[in-house]
Amino acid sequence: MTSFNGKIVLITGAASGIGFIMSKMALKRGVKHLVMWDINSELLSTSVEELRSKGYSVSMNVVDVRDIEQVTSAAENVINEQGGVDILINNAGVIVGKSFATHSYDEIENTMTVNSLGLMYVARAFLPDMIKREFGRIINIASAAGLSPNPGMTVYVASKWAAVGWSDSLRIELEQDHENIKVLTVMPSYINTGMFDGVKAPLLIPVLDPEKISAKILNAVEKEKIYLREPFMVKLSPFIRGILPARVYDFIAGNLLKVYSSMDTFRGRKGDKN
């Protein structure tokens, strides 16, 4: 079991959405100090002040996870000031919901960099110190989109497939050489934070409540789980895709569950983090 009590925790994309919800929940579980990273300086300041006003020990860094120099510099400062990070929650993320042919090259690069490379940059910045201290927990917020194709979010899907593959490979790598550094890969379906405004919930795959999924993520950290897939149908996705021919899976996902049309009415909300 892993306890949040007395730990140093860092959360990216922490100013809003489930990042901020997890920040509040982690502090209530006894975190010694919370470090909040986000690209939105104004919103981050407001969120930090709200938590500080309740007596919690919280610090912040305005960090663009796409920028290696910003990530490494901020990470070095955190390690020097706090003595290291015990629990890292890689939560920052973006989405562009439209057909691939209409994506700009900048949108493609930005989505891939934030959602996949950004996780790697942040983890790489803190992992050597975790190895030195022989303790660490790395939580990577990926997506159910990393388990199944979905039109209307092709680049987002690609970024999350990359995140899932990297995160699980890192888990195995660390299990082989550093058993006290553990990795949790989180793969939720749509979350009702505003990031996915307008999506149509597929059959049997309801839009997730942000408070409930945030609590489940922290519970999964405490229980040292290696995967968290929500809701229930997402748990079955790897098995179903593994045993069915692609066209049969497409029929079930597209025609029966309506997964492939879930982005048809997507609006989103600019600037949100998942």
- Counting Cα atoms < 13 Å in the Cβ hemisphere of 194 gives 9
Write down the residue that tokens 């050489």 correspond to: 177
Structure tokens at 17: 């959405």
Q: Which of 40, 50, 38 is nearest to 91 (CA)?
A: 38
Q: Which of 4, 58, 72 is nearest to 215 (CA)?
A: 4
In whole angstroms, give the CA distance from residue 225 to residue 246.
30
In whole angstroms, give the CA distance from residue 18 to residue 21.
5
Q: Indicate which residue of 156, 190, 249, 260 is catalytic.
A: 156
- SS3 category, 181: strand
Q: What is the DSSP secondary structure assignment for residue 227, as one 8-state letter?
A: E
Catalytic annotation on 190? Answer: no
- Maximum pairwise Cα distance, the chain: 56
Instruction: Give me the residues paired with residue 267 across strands.
Output: none
Q: Which residues are catalytic?
A: 156
